[in-house]
Structure 1
Amino acid sequence: MARGLMLARGFADPVHDAQGVFRAVMDALARPGTIQPLATDLTPPAPLTPDLAAIALALGDADAPLWLDAGLARNPAVAEFLRFHTGAPITRDPAEAAFALIADAAACPDFASFAQGTPAYPDRSATLVLAVTDLSNDGWRLDGPGIRGSARLSASPLPADILPRLARNHAGFPQGVDLILAAPGLVAALPRSTRVQEG
């Protein structure tokens, strides 16, 4: 019981807070290139950011295994927080994860490490949630479903080879991973259906 009392709290209003975060993420995925506000007052154990935590709490459940990057996995309190508030199992195998939480976005593993789905079941792929510090509507040019004409987006930090990674990921559509980019108070997304090119 004493250990449970030390656990960082989750959403103050679990139903409405989760719905608000879920809606922001779904809007970002439906309209790639748009930057949505992400309201959260969470204080999760470091290095889990409030934004990563909010998205995990809104999307995670007992049927959606979570994978944590090396920095997150080093602090046992992170896994305990996520298991308690989501019921999601924590997996060490990225290929088994429904969602991957990545605090050190610049060191994100190769996308091929994660579940890509199958031709028959492309929805059995992973969604990568990356913590970034900056999101803005400039830089790369985006086009594809959900985008009228084209859109602009930039984010940092990300891997140095992010554009070739995104090109390979898009080429495998309908298989591939989806990316959610979580900055302080903001969220954007790069689904596999989106083509991303140098601006």
Structure 2
Amino acid sequence: MSMLTARNHTPGFAHPVRDAQRVFRAVMEALARPTTPQRIDPVVAPPEPLGAALGAVILTLCDEQTPVWLDSALRSAPEVEAWIVFHTGARIVDAPADASFAIASSPETAPALSALSRGTDEEPHESATLVIDARACAGIDGLTASGPGIRETRTWDGAGLPDGFLPQWQENRALYPRGVDLILAHEHTVCGLPRTTALTGALQHGLDRRSA
């Protein structure tokens, strides 16, 4: 057995059904309560550079019916692709537009929202979800979120959002019911940003990051 084949069998969830249900509930709650972190405490150790929370989300949401795009850092680590394929059966695709889930190992490597599938008016559920590893990311000054799942407005630091995200998000939200949804995977939590959420308050041409 080759080293890569052996690594295909590194563990996923210790208790697949129970752990997947727990993470699924956290992700759904994160999308139902946008910008409010939901604790997942991932008990999984995927190969680097795939973070534990990001790996837990992938194991929970991806299967043989969900084509997955990986950024260059993840794609260049063969053990990452092998781990995902072995545990989920997902097909890894070359173009972000072909993915149901686009996985970025950092905000800097996330594809533009316009590069992802937005679904159609008849089938908005065919749109993609962007999942970003947001471990140790700095926050952003002056973001305010509003929309379904948020009482009035909520101040949010937006930790894990890519630079220049706000104008992309405003254009994405204007496409409703089409549009991309976003999940930010932190060290022990996930945060959701569904296409129905409005973001205001940061610079239109970019985002002012606080110093780390």
TM-score calculated relative to the size of structure 1:
0.93
Per-residue CA distance 1:116-167 (angstroms, 9 max, x = gap): 0001001100000011124879841111111111122223343220111111
**Does 1:123 find its partner at 2:125?**
yes
Note the 1:25-104 alignment, pairs <5 A. Answer: 25-104=27-106
CA contact (8 A) 2:7 2:83 kept: no
User: Which residue of structure 1 lines up, in the alignment, with residue 113 of structure 2?
Assistant: 111
C-alpha distance in structure 1 between counterparts of 2:77 and 2:7, whole Å = 14
Q: Identity percentage over the alignment?
A: 42
Note the 1:113-152 alignment, pairs <5 A. Answer: 113-132=115-134, 133-134=136-137, 139-152=142-155
Give SS of 2:125's match: coil
**Deviation (angstroms), 1:58:** 0.3
For structure 1, list consecutive stretches of 5 or more residues without a partner in the other structure.
none
Equivalent in 140, 143, 160 of residue 163 of structure 2:
160
CA contact (8 A) 1:34 1:137 kept: no
Per-residue CA distance 1:83-119 (angstroms, 9 max, x = gap): 0011111111211111111002123221111100001
C-alpha distance in structure 1 between counterparts of 2:48 and 2:77, whole Å = 8
C-alpha distance in structure 1 between counterparts of 2:138 and 2:37, whole Å = 8
One-letter code aligned to 1:154: D
One-letter code aligned to 2:101: F
C-alpha distance in structure 2 between counterparts of 1:101 and 1:108, whole Å = 8
**Does 1:174 find its partner at 2:177?**
yes
Per-residue CA distance 1:41-62 (angstroms, 9 max, x = gap): 2221111111110000000011
* Larger fraction in strand: 1
Give SS of 2:163's match: coil
One-letter code aligned to 2:176: F
Give SS of 1:146's match: coil
Q: What is the number of equivalent residue pairs in this alignment? A: 199
- Structure 1 residues 139 and 19: CA distance shift in structure 2, 3 A: farther
> Moved runs in structure 1, 4+ residues, more than 6 A?
135-138
One-letter code aligned to 2:166: L
One-letter code aligned to 1:107: T
C-alpha distance in structure 2 between counterparts of 1:178 and 1:125, whole Å = 8
For structure 2, list consecutive stretches of 5 or more residues without a partner in the other structure.
203-212
C-alpha distance in structure 1 between counterparts of 2:160 and 2:27, whole Å = 20
TM-score calculated relative to the size of structure 2:
0.88
Give SS of 1:184's match: coil
**Deviation (angstroms), 1:10:** 0.3
**Deviation (angstroms), 1:12:** 0.3
CA contact (8 A) 1:181 1:189 kept: yes
